Structure 1
Amino acid sequence: MNLTISVPSIGCSSCIETIAKAIQSVDASAEVNGDAATKSLNIESQLPEVKIRELIAIAGHKAA
């Protein structure tokens, strides 16, 4: 599943890296790319969207 999710609290590449690690801890094959300027993530994962949003929250961010 390919998702684009807005995460307003993303401020830098470290934020994106933290979220990517959280998602990849559950789905090792997930690909997470982000853009701090647009505060968005492009995620390719087998996880359902609700789980991805939960993992973003666990990483300390809130998906819009």
Structure 2
Amino acid sequence: MNIQLNIPNMACSACGETISKAVIAIDPTATVQADPKTKQVKIETQASQSAIESAITAAGYQVN
């Protein structure tokens, strides 16, 4: 499943790393591309979108 999310409070590459780690914690096979400049995260995963959004929210980031 391809998921693209807007993360308005992702400010830097460290934020992107935190988000990537949150996603990989629930799906170790996921690929995550986080771009702090555009505030976009592209994820290829087997997990549901709601599970991904919950993991990112739990890591401290808003999902739009």
TM-score category, normalised to shorter length? over 0.9
CA deviations 1:18-39 (Å, max 9, x no partner) are 0110110111000010111100
The correspondence of residues 1-64 of structure 1 with structure 2, limited to 5 A, is 1-64=1-64
Structure 1 ranges of 4+ moved more than 3 A:
none
TM-score, normalisation: structure 1: 0.96
5+ long unaligned stretches in structure 2: none
TM-score, normalisation: structure 2: 0.96
Equivalent pairs: percent with the same residue? 38
| Contact kept? 2:4, 2:41, Cα under 8 Å | yes
Aligned positions, number: 64
